[in-house]
């Protein structure tokens, strides 16, 4: 069995790719970064310097990379959602296994094409549903597999997207307009949650999907009276508006730095003055109520499974704090918890005299890692998967990931058609 470091190429040098590639610096016996493909020359050169990549192993596009003789084992594909399929298929054909950022496609046709391509070329594709690796969700999965709550009757998940996250990513940022990013809010933000539901319900398949939702808050008619169009240019409410770019990004310059200050990458140490000037022309400086966003700010998804169980997912954007919650009811007990706090309670039916239920609290807080402690475990599992070793229960192969994507696509179709249920076909 091959125990050498997995020689890996970064395709799309964004925040997520670099997070995964960090394993090569932490555990060099598992992964070695040997190439990069990114159209941004500054970013490409920065990655090459960080990982010691020679110039001849640096490329502008995935297609350019796929056109040279294979020189690595695998690729981390962190490109934008809508080009995941078109960048991955040439790499599969060239002989690379792929760790692919979620969602792996933005429509059903492309999703099925990629599943077919992975099978055709005999390559391994693992999708970055990192929440499966968070100790919080992994422990819940283990309890379900061990029969602690019996057969699942109902599963309810919720994601509350904080006001500053909502504004940055889905009102002003990269995922604010489905015509540009080709992803709905549900696909870009909640495919994690739908995947968790499908994973926990893996004993059965989804059969019907229905959904409702709209953009209720971030509309021009809700803009504060006398507000301007650009926070730091013409708005008298810049010091008091909840969504003031000054309050969100100047007062908190590091919180969303990778997205908001991307145009300052050429500066080694940009100043606050540099950032103020950027916000005067940047999309992140536009009034949150007057952007070109067209994605929903809240949505509810209902799923009927083949075995009669039901699932619901609620996404609400613009909340005071961001978190995910879960409530699973089984024939023998209940699991309910808060992902942000990394705690959940297992409550089992207890019919003994004087008793009603027996509760056990699990505290799974992990520090110094994002996504509840799952990022690096996901990459370790990909290395094992690519090497041909037995992957963990969290592993998301391309075929295993299909059901969650189908539910998202059909939920959005249902939402656009007044909630009419859509049948899931595999």
Q: Do 211 and 250 fall within a single domain?
A: no
The CATH number assigned to the domain holding 54 equals: 3.40.50.720
Rounded to 10°, the helix 402-416/108-121 angle is 170
Residue 30 lies in a domain: yes
Task: Report the pLDDT averaged over residues 16-20.
Answer: 95
Is residue 49 located within the same domain as residue 79? yes
Residue 351 has what pLDDT?
87
Average pLDDT on 53-61 reads 97
pLDDT of residue 371: 55
* Helical H segments across 252-332, by residue range: 257-260, 272-279
What confidence score (pLDDT) does residue 373 get?
Answer: 62
The predicted pLDDT at position 85 comes to 97
Could you tell me the pLDDT band of residue 105, with boundaries at 50, 70 and 90? very high
Q: Could you give the CA distance from residue 55 to residue 48 in angstroms, rounded to a whole number?
A: 8
- Give the residue among 421, 419, 405 at the shortest CA–CA distance from 187: 405
pLDDT tens per residue across span 189-227: 999 999 999 999 999 999 999 999 999 999 999 999 999
CATH number, domain of 196, equals 3.30.360.10
Cα separation, 30 vs 49, whole angstroms: 20
Q: Is the dihedral of CA 389, 391, 395, 398 positive or negative?
A: positive
Closest to 296 (Cα-Cα) out of 216, 222, 215: 215
pLDDT tens, position by position, 219-262: 999 999 999 999 999 999 999 999 999 999 999 999 999 899 98
**259-309 per-position pLDDT tens digit:** 999 899 888 899 999 999 999 999 999 999 999 999 999 999 999 999 999
CB 312 within 8 Å of CB 303: yes
Residue 338 — pLDDT band, cuts 50, 70, 90? very high
pLDDT for position 249 = 97
- Which residues are within 8 A (CB) of 247 and not within 5 positions of it... i.e. 6 or more apart? 238, 239, 241
Tell me the range of 148-157, 173-182, 346-355 where mean pLDDT is highest: 148-157
Find the angle CA(155)-CA(157)-CA(159) to the nearest 5 degrees: 175
The answer to whether residue 1 scores a pLDDT higher than 60 is no
With b meaning 16 or more CB within 10 Å and e meaning fewer, what string describes 352-380? eeeeeeeeeebebeeeebebbbbbbbbbb
> Which H/E stretch holds residue 196?
helix 185-200
Residues 173 and 302 in one domain: yes
Question: 418 and 309 in one domain?
Answer: yes
Same domain, yes or no, for 273 and 349?
Answer: no
Q: What is the extent of the structural domain holding 67?
A: 6-127
pLDDT at residue number 258: 87
Q: Around Cβ 241, how many Cβ atoms within 10 Å? A: 21
Domain boundary among 110, 127, 144: 127
Write down the pLDDT at residue 365. Answer: 81
1 domain residue, yes or no: no
Measured between alpha carbons, how far is 207 from 216 in angstroms, rounded to an integer?
Answer: 29
Q: What is the percentage of the chain residues whose pLDDT exceeds 90?
A: 92
**CA dist., res. 310 & res. 209, Å (int):** 10
Q: Specify burial of residue 392 (Cβ count, 10 A radius: 0-12, 13-18, 19+).
A: middle
Question: Where is the domain boundary, 85, 112, 127?
Answer: 127
Crossing angle of helices 135-145 and 185-200, in 10° steps, is 40
Task: Give pLDDT, residue 370.
Answer: 56
From the list 104, 101, 102, the residue with the least C-alpha distance to 118 is: 104
37 is a domain residue? yes
Q: Are residues 281 and 419 in the same domain?
A: no
Q: What is the pTM of this model?
A: 0.92
Q: Which domain-ending residue is among 285, 307, 327?
A: 285
Residue 326 near residue 337, CB atoms below 8 Å: yes
Residue 133 in contact with residue 106, Cβ under 8 Å? no
The structural domain count of the chain equals: 3
For residue 355, what pLDDT is reported? 85
Per-residue pLDDT at 368 exceeds 90: no
Q: DSSP assignment of 25-58, as one string?
A: HH-TTTEEEEEEE-S-HHHHHHHHHHHT--GGGE
- The average confidence (pLDDT) of the chain is 95
Structural domain includes residue 153? yes
- For residue 10, is pLDDT > 80? yes
Q: Are 394 and 181 in contact (CB under 8 A)?
A: no
């Amino acid at each position: 069995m091959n125990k050498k470091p997995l020689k890996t190429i970064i395709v799309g040098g964004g925040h997520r790719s670099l997070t995964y590639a960090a394993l090569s610096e932490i555990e060099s016996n598992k992964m070695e970064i040997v190439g990069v493909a990114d159209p941004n020359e500054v970013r490409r050169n920065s990655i090459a310097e960080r990982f010691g990549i020679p110039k001849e192993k640096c490329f502008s596009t995935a297609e350019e990379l796929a056109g040279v003789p294979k020189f690595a084992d695998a690729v981390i594909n962190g490109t934008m959602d809508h080009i995941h399929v078109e960048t991955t298929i040439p790499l599969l054909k060239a002989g690379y296994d792929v760790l692919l950022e979620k969602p792996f496609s933005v429509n059903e046709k492309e999703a099925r094409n990629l599943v077919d391509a992975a099978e055709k070329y005999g390559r391994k594709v693992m999708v970055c549903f990192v929440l499966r690796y968070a100790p919080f969700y992994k422990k819940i999965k283990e309890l379900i597999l061990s029969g602690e709550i019996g057969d699942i009757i109902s599963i309810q998940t919720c994601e509350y997207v904080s006001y500053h996250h909502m504004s940055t990513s889905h009102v002003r940022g990269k995922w604010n307009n489905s015509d540009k990013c080709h992803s709905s809010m549900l696909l870009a933000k909640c495919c994690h949650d739908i995947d968790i539901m499908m994973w926990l319900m893996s004993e059965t398949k989804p059969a019907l999907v229905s959904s409702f939702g709209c953009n209720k808050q971030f509309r021009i008619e809700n803009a504060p009276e006398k507000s301007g169009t650009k926070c730091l240019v013409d708005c008298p409410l810049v010091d008091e508006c909840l969504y003031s770019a000054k309050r969100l990004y100047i007062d908190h310059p590091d919180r969303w730095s990778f997205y908001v200050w991307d145009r300052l990458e050429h500066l080694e140490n940009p100043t606050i003055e540099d950032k103020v000037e950027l916000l005067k022309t940047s999309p992140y400086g536009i009034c949150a109520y007057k952007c070109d966003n067209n994605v929903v700010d809240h949505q509810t998804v209902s799923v009927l499974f083949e075995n009669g169980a039901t699932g619901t997912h609620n996404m609400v954007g613009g909340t005071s704090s961001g978190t995910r919650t879960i409530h699973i009811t089984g024939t023998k007990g209940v699991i309910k918890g808060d992902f942000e706090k990394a705690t959940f309670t297992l409550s089992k039916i207890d019919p003994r005299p004087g008793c009603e239920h027996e509760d056990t609290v699990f505290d799974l807080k992990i520090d110094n890692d994002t996504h509840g402690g799952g990022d690096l475990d996901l990459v370790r599992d990909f290395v094992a998967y690519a090497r041909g070793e037995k992957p963990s229960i969290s592993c998301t192969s391309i075929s295993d990931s299909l059901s969650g994507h189908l539910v998202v696509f059909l939920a959005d179709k249902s939402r656009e058609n007044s909630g009419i249920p859509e049948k899931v076909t595999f």
